[in-house]
A and B are shown apart, each in its own frame.
Chain A
Amino acid sequence: MSDIRIVPLGAGQDVGRSCILVSMGGKNIMFDCGMHMGYNDERRFPDFTYITDTGQTLHDYINCVILSHFHLDHCGALPYFTEMCGYNGPIYMTHPTKAICPVLLEDFRRVCVDKKGEQNFFTSQMIKDCMRKVITVNLHQCVKVDDQLEIKAYYAGHVLGAAMFHVRVGHQSVVYTGDYNMTPDRHLGSAWIDRCRPDLLITESTYATTIRDSKRCRERDFLKKLHECLERDGKVLIPVFALGRAQELCILLESYWERMNLKYPIYFSTGLTEKANHYYKLFISWTNQKIKNTFIHRNMFDFKHIKAFDRSYIDQPGPMIVFATPGMLHAGLSLQIFKKWAEDEKNMLIMPGYCVPGTIGHKVLSGTKKIEIDKKLVNIRLSVQYMSFSAHADAKGIMQLIQLAEPKNVLLVHGEAAKMEFLRQKINEEFGIHCYMPANGETVAIATTPSISVNMSSLLFKRALEESIGAPPSKRLCSLPNSAVVDGLLVMKNEVIEVSLLTHKEVSDEIGLTRHKLKFSQTLTLDGHFLPDSNILELLTTSINKLVPDSKVLQTKEGYGLELSGTSVTLSIAQFLPQPLVNLTWELQDDHIGSILVMNLVRTIPRALIMT
């Protein structure tokens, strides 16, 4: 047996800087290369010293890098890894991820370098050079990285272009989920995977100890608070990233405004609005079925009630809603609007996602009432609401995915350090499989059992099925039970790695060998004397039925013998009375029946009928 070894370099018992190193079949695969948004020092990157300490270069050690989606905690360290650490091998991701990653990376780079003054950060050119190395994959497309390593992407939901990856090396396989969700939302579908039965499923566990409120109730809360603020003449600011939950909320508001015939103005930042719209049109196949169906008639991302924002609107009186970037209020238009609106208690700030510590968004969510922005003290009097719309699987969703994929083991990443024992117990109880949860730098070795696919001849299958279920196969009864016994020959051909299970006849025909039969015979003397009218065949039949209960004993056509139906065992009477002699013959495959009869037949003849 060979092991699969897994080492989290990031997101082991933590959320942030996702980076999982998997070694199997002599290959090393890196899943994700993210950045931890809570740190500003080297802790923001995954710990690559685990690889460099082996003495090998990153390029020699890693066979490929696979990125699940464009969130920075999954791709934020990629330019650093390729352009500053020197990895030069293949990088795989989906088309939307490749298109959107550089946008977020560039935005993040600008904040770190231009706003925070960081040095030794990757440059814009490095981002471009990094993305040139990317190889895109389609969903369900089997991509061969080399002769042994192949990968396949599955739909993950979560954000546009997010994928789960099934990786196979020889007989070993692993599924890495990245971030996913099992319930569809308004613009994306839910994650799905086939029953691929990997040796290991590496799944995120962000909400593993949580039972999430339904999406509809969260939407309801959002709409209720919005509407209440607008009705009292307030303005609502919603800081968002250009791509992601913003589109989800826009579709929700568009539908609600249309349904309720509301006239309050809704605005979205210019520039990135067009870019986001462009990406969703380009990758419409990645959205859910409803969006795709509607797209034939109209683009659901061309909103009727949501207009482009102009900075001159900031000072306009009256209620309005504005979606503005960036999402954590750390710069740009959203911060500018916030400065203007913060001191009016009629207004509202809705934060729809996580804010990194140190940002203004994070401070506001912590309850700070006064903030210095551009050397001016701003009093925060507006109402602050936090509404998480992030799309992750909760405890039930994780169990659903395990049920779909049927892995032999589960490994949890991207979650809390403590409080996983209950989930482990449930997984073990429900599926009878082990569940691991390593910390960063901790190695988990999972033993795998090689599995060999065998092609079974249809003739052999049909025979085995009839024998085990006692009926001809039909559409309903066409799977062999585990208890079925199949008598055949295993043939492995030299030219190709193909193993077949065939009948004896099929094998001898295929290889041109003459089949030989090995036949045994034994003459039995029935001791004692029998009455003149004793029916010897009847006595023998009674005995045989006792010794071989499942047998069907028939008289031969000639009338002087017996045969066991479905076997090669025959009995013929060589001499009848007074001393019956019975010739028993059988072939090799029925040797077990022949032996039973040889040893026991004589003594089990009913004695009452023997003349003493």
Chain B
Amino acid sequence: MDDDDDWLISSLERYEQLFMYDLSTPVHLMYLASDKGVWVYGQTLANKRELSLLTLPTKITNKEITGGRDFKISAGAVIPFSINCIQEMSNQQAVLCNADKRSLHWWREDERSPDLLVEIASSIVPPLPHHKECETARSQCITHIDYWKSESNDQHLLLGSNSPPDDGHVQIYDVVSHSVSWETVLDKTKLHDALYFGSPHQIVLCSGNYGEILVVDTREPFSATPTRCSMDAETHDDYALSCTSNIIGTLSDAGSLRLYDSRSYEKPFYCCTMPTTFHSSQYLTLTISPYNDRLLGLHPGIIIYDTTSMPPKAIFTHDGHEKEGAESVKVHGHIWHQSIPRLLISAGSDGGLHMWQYNE
């Protein structure tokens, strides 16, 4: 066997399942729509942009004997603008945040040609009042998005952005009326991320040089010093935020990891400096496993950590992207499968898309 096969041999013990795909464009964004599909946005250096909705291999989803190992391209399109983030809504419809102006675009499968995605609506999102003259400026583009659909079918988008020089801006956008129903400004404070937190009225924000956690009830007046917050001991440039119903986690680009109990987050219950640093803050990501919230996925590098011990124990490193493309490959993201334990999907700047289930 070749030396190339060394990694393959070692993977037999390390991975329960391993799938590796080669997309035609480097993957910039990925969104796991459901247990059966994933949205992928790719962009080349020549600014060719593709959005695809891929169906997961049937080997994973239905366990049939003839289940295939391949992703099927359920639908796709060449899109005319760059995007910052994707969020799937219902009915295989996704909303895209334009990277060149402050707008949202809804795309879904074309009724006449079901394998094509088409834009069905778009909307300009109002900026901060005193930035109105810059409403198309790239600097005001929406960079964070989350989605909530209530039982009564009310649909809202949580939008986050930063206006120059560094004012964080958070809005709740009503999808039906296409209007902003709530917004706030973090004065001279950079917004790192914003997520829905357990209900349509509760959001968690991570902002500022100290990675301040703010839990906000949008039904109440928002004040600069909210009732509950927590922050890091030192300042860092960037933070990643993740949360489940039980845990809120932040990770700084200098490797500072903090975990908070969602019920009382004045103080983290877990605090440490990770053994690795994250110089490439562009791809700084923290994810929490959907079935064991003490398992974290850290990125770049995609290392799975077990935080039941102090310091956290690296229980698995996925080095498949580095193996394929050596140092030049940047890993753009990873997501956990929602129902299959230890199964993740990751993507890289060389167009590599991996699906892997590590062995316990």
**Which residues from chain A contact B48 at a C-beta distance below 8 Å?**
429-430
CA distance A385 to B65 in the complex (A): 6
Q: Is the CB of A224 within 8 A of B70?
A: no
Identity of the chain A residue whose Cβ is nearest the Cβ of B356 in the assembled complex: A217
Q: Is the CB of B57 within 8 A of A213?
A: yes
| Cβ of A105 to closest chain B Cβ, rounded Å | 27
Task: Using known A-B contacts A216-B8, A219-B8, A426-B78, determine if residue A365 contacts B22 with beta carbons closer than 8 Å.
Answer: no
Q: Is the CB of B24 within 8 A of A217?
A: no
Q: Is the CB of A210 within 8 A of B19?
A: no
Chain B, 1-13, contact with A by CB distance < 8 Å: what is the 0/1 string? 1000100110110
Q: Is the CB of B114 within 8 A of A419?
A: yes
Q: Is the CB of A223 within 8 A of B12?
A: yes
Q: Is the CB of A211 within 8 A of B115?
A: no
CA distance A395 to B67 in the complex (A): 20
Q: Is the CB of B113 within 8 A of A421?
A: yes
Whether B72 sits at the interface, judged by CB under 8 Å, is yes
**Which residues from chain A contact B17 at a C-beta distance below 8 Å?**
221
Q: Is the CB of A217 within 8 A of B18?
A: yes
Whether B21 sits at the interface, judged by CB under 8 Å, is yes
Chain A, 207-230, contact with B by CB distance < 8 Å: what is the 0/1 string? 101111110111111011001000
**Which residues from chain B contact A365 at a C-beta distance below 8 Å?**
65-66
**Which residues from chain B contact A221 at a C-beta distance below 8 Å?**
17-18, 69
| Cβ of B41 to closest chain A Cβ, rounded Å | 14
Whether A396 sits at the interface, judged by CB under 8 Å, is yes
Chain A, 415-440, contact with B by CB distance < 8 Å: what is the 0/1 string? 00011111001100110000000000
Whether B75 sits at the interface, judged by CB under 8 Å, is yes
Q: Is the CB of B116 within 8 A of A421?
A: yes
Chain B, 166-195, contact with A by CB distance < 8 Å: what is the 0/1 string? 000000000000000000000000000000
**Which residues from chain B contact A419 at a C-beta distance below 8 Å?**
73, 114-115
Q: Is the CB of A422 within 8 A of B115?
A: yes
| Cβ of A257 to closest chain B Cβ, rounded Å | 10
Find residues 136-193 in chain A having any chain B CB closer than 8 Å to their own CB: none
Question: Looking at the complex, which one of B54, B72, B115 makes contact with A418 (CB distance below 8 Å)?
Answer: B115
Q: Is the CB of B50 within 8 A of A426?
A: yes
Find residues 358-417 in chain A having any chain B CB closer than 8 Å to their own CB: 365-367, 384-386, 388, 394-396, 399
Whether B68 sits at the interface, judged by CB under 8 Å, is yes
CA distance A221 to B5 in the complex (A): 14
Question: Looking at the complex, which one of B1, B9, B11, B73 makes contact with A209 (CB distance below 8 Å)?
Answer: B73
Q: Is the CB of A211 within 8 A of B54?
A: yes
CA distance A384 to B57 in the complex (A): 18
**Which residues from chain A contact B66 at a C-beta distance below 8 Å?**
365-366, 386
**Which residues from chain B contact A399 at a C-beta distance below 8 Å?**
24
Q: Is the CB of A213 within 8 A of B1?
A: no
Whether A259 sits at the interface, judged by CB under 8 Å, is yes
CA distance A385 to B22 in the complex (A): 24
Task: Using known A-B contacts A216-B8, A367-B65, A396-B23, determine if residue A209 contacts B72 with beta carbons closer than 8 Å.
Answer: yes
Counting chain B CB atoms within 10 Å of each CB, the highest count among A216, A223, A366, A420 belongs to: A216
Whether B274 sits at the interface, judged by CB under 8 Å, is no
| Cβ of A370 to closest chain B Cβ, rounded Å | 16
Task: Using known A-B contacts A418-B115, A429-B78, determine if residue A210 contacts B23 with beta carbons closer than 8 Å.
Answer: no
Counting chain B CB atoms within 10 Å of each CB, the highest count among A207, A211, A395 belongs to: A211
Find residues 309-342 in chain A having any chain B CB closer than 8 Å to their own CB: none
Question: Looking at the complex, which one of A384, A422, A429 makes contact with B65 (CB distance below 8 Å)?
Answer: A384
Counting chain B CB atoms within 10 Å of each CB, the highest count among A209, A223, A260, A429 belongs to: A209
Whether A525 sits at the interface, judged by CB under 8 Å, is no
| Cβ of A2 to closest chain B Cβ, rounded Å | 32
Q: Is the CB of A256 within 8 A of B1?
A: yes
Chain A, 545-561, contact with B by CB distance < 8 Å: what is the 0/1 string? 00000000000000000
CA distance A425 to B24 in the complex (A): 14
**Which residues from chain B contact A223 at a C-beta distance below 8 Å?**
12
Task: Using known A-B contacts A213-B20, A216-B8, determine if residue A422 contacts B116 with beta carbons closer than 8 Å.
Answer: yes
CA distance A395 to B65 in the complex (A): 25
| Cβ of B56 to closest chain A Cβ, rounded Å | 11
**Which residues from chain B contact A214 at a C-beta distance below 8 Å?**
19-22
Whether A285 sits at the interface, judged by CB under 8 Å, is no
Q: Is the CB of A220 within 8 A of B69?
A: no
Q: Is the CB of B65 within 8 A of A386?
A: yes
**Which residues from chain A contact B114 at a C-beta distance below 8 Å?**
418-419
CA distance A379 to B25 in the complex (A): 48
CA distance A221 to B12 in the complex (A): 8
Whether B71 sits at the interface, judged by CB under 8 Å, is yes
Whether A255 sits at the interface, judged by CB under 8 Å, is yes
CA distance A214 to B54 in the complex (A): 16
Q: Is the CB of B78 within 8 A of A255?
A: no
CA distance A531 to B78 in the complex (A): 71
| Cβ of B318 to closest chain A Cβ, rounded Å | 13
Identity of the chain B residue whose Cβ is nearest the Cβ of A388 in the assembled complex: B68
Q: Is the CB of A212 within 8 A of B76?
A: no
Whether B64 sits at the interface, judged by CB under 8 Å, is yes
Question: Looking at the complex, which one of B5, B9, B70 makes contact with A211 (CB distance below 8 Å)?
Answer: B70
CA distance A256 to B8 in the complex (A): 11
Q: Is the CB of A209 within 8 A of B21?
A: no
CA distance A418 to B112 in the complex (A): 11
CA distance A426 to B24 in the complex (A): 11
Chain B, 33-52, contact with A by CB distance < 8 Å: what is the 0/1 string? 00000000000000010101
Find residues 209-253 in chain A having any chain B CB closer than 8 Å to their own CB: 209-214, 216-221, 223-224, 227
CA distance A276 to B202 in the complex (A): 69
CA distance A336 to B354 in the complex (A): 40
Q: Is the CB of A210 within 8 A of B24?
A: no
Identity of the chain B residue whose Cβ is nearest the Cβ of A364 in the assembled complex: B65
Q: Is the CB of B23 within 8 A of A211?
A: yes
Q: Is the CB of B50 within 8 A of A207?
A: no
Whether B353 sits at the interface, judged by CB under 8 Å, is yes
Find residues 74-125 in chain B having any chain A CB closer than 8 Å to their own CB: 75-78, 110, 113-117
Q: Is the CB of A212 within 8 A of B9?
A: no
Task: Using known A-B contacts A211-B54, A217-B18, determine if residue A259 contacts B9 with beta carbons closer than 8 Å.
Answer: yes
Q: Is the CB of A255 within 8 A of B70?
A: no
| Cβ of B303 to closest chain A Cβ, rounded Å | 21
Question: Looking at the complex, which one of B5, B9, B12, B76 makes contact with A422 (CB distance below 8 Å)?
Answer: B76
CA distance A214 to B113 in the complex (A): 29
CA distance A223 to B15 in the complex (A): 13
Task: Using known A-B contacts A213-B21, A418-B114, A426-B50, determine if residue A259 contacts B1 with beta carbons closer than 8 Å.
Answer: yes
| Cβ of A470 to closest chain B Cβ, rounded Å | 28
Chain A, 243-284, contact with B by CB distance < 8 Å: what is the 0/1 string? 000000000000110111000000000000000000000000
CA distance A418 to B72 in the complex (A): 13
| Cβ of B141 to closest chain A Cβ, rounded Å | 24
Counting chain B CB atoms within 10 Å of each CB, the highest count among A217, A227, A420 belongs to: A217
CA distance A386 to B11 in the complex (A): 21
Identity of the chain B residue whose Cβ is nearest the Cβ of A255 in the assembled complex: B1
Q: Is the CB of B71 within 8 A of A211?
A: yes
Q: Is the CB of A207 within 8 A of B115?
A: no
Q: Is the CB of B65 within 8 A of A396?
A: no
- Can you identify 13 A-B contacts, CB atoms within 8 angstroms? A211-B21, A213-B69, A214-B20, A217-B19, A221-B69, A227-B12, A255-B5, A367-B65, A395-B24, A396-B24, A422-B116, A425-B77, A425-B78
A interface list, Cβ under 8 A from B: 207, 209-214, 216-221, 223-224, 227, 255-256, 258-260, 365-367, 384-386, 388, 394-396, 399, 418-422, 425-426, 429-430
The 6 A-B pairs with the shortest beta carbon distances in the complex, nearest first, are A213-B69, A419-B115, A421-B113, A422-B76, A211-B71, A214-B20
Besides A209-B73, A216-B20, 9 more A-B contacts (Cβ < 8 Å) are A210-B70, A211-B71, A224-B12, A367-B64, A367-B65, A388-B68, A396-B22, A396-B24, A421-B115
